[in-house]
Amino acid sequence: MQFLALVAAALASTVSACVAGEGGATCVTSGGAWLYMISPYSNSTLTAGGQINIVWDKCGSDPAFDAANITFEIADASNPNNVQSVNGGQFTQPAAVSGLAATYTIPASFPAGNKYTIKSSYRDAKLGGWRNCFGNTFAIASSTPVNTAPATTTKSSGAVAGVAAAAAAAVVLAL
């Protein structure tokens, strides 16, 4: 797990886009910090039942935020003006803000869809409310394989039925 955190930190430092104010009004903490969500990548496809690697960078300076935990969930982003929670999308294990990465398992029964996002939530005691940061949009494919083989049918033949009747008659005669 430490290796993943080191890789995430290296990736975050090279890919980060911590531009002042980029966190958005729902994301910035009372101390002026926010998360910049790096992964899952935009337009990537994950699979229900598989792993999801969430990677972020912490932007700005806020000691309370640095020491805090955050929670994550997969949310429906099909309407970007009204991102909605999805039943089964909440990950119960919080992550340390300073960890810069977390890995979870997507439930196998999670519904397939093309417009999901990661929603992170942080309780900002000074503001008296929740701060939410959102990531890129991505897709989730079903864990159930789709059967693409052509359908086959079997026909009962009269000859088979006749053989079965003859066998039954032979058993009766033998008694």
Render pLDDT for 47-59 as a digit per residue (tens, 0 to 9).
999 999 999 999 9
**Ramachandran region, residue 21 (left: φ > 0; alpha: ψ -120 to 50; beta: rest):** left
Q: Which token pair is 50?
A: 């598989």
Smallest CA-to-CA distance from 91 within 77, 73, 108 is with 73
pLDDT reported for residue 117: 96
DSSP 131-171: EEEE---EEEE-SSPP--SPP------HHHHHHHHHHHHHH
Per-residue pLDDT reduced to its tens digit, 134-147: 999 999 999 876 66
pLDDT reported for residue 106: 97
For the CA atoms of 111, 113, 115, 116, the dihedral, rounded to the nearest 10 degrees, stands at 30
As a whole number of angstroms, the distance between CA 87 and CA 74 comes to 9
What's the DSSP call for residue 5? H
Smallest CA-to-CA distance from 75 within 66, 84, 67 is with 84
pLDDT reported for residue 171: 42
What's the DSSP call for residue 32? S
Amino acid identity for residue 33 in this structure: A
Smallest CA-to-CA distance from 48 within 95, 86, 3 is with 86
For the CA atoms of 6, 11, 12, 14, the dihedral, rounded to the nearest 10 degrees, stands at 130
Per-residue pLDDT reduced to its tens digit, 34-44: 888 899 999 99
Helix or strand run (H / E) with residue 129: strand 129-134
- Higher-confidence position of 5 and 140: 140
The domains found in the chain, sorted by start residue, are: 2-144 (2.60.40.10)
In this predicted structure, the answer to whether residue 61 has a pLDDT above a threshold of 80 is yes
As a whole number of angstroms, the distance between CA 143 and CA 48 comes to 5
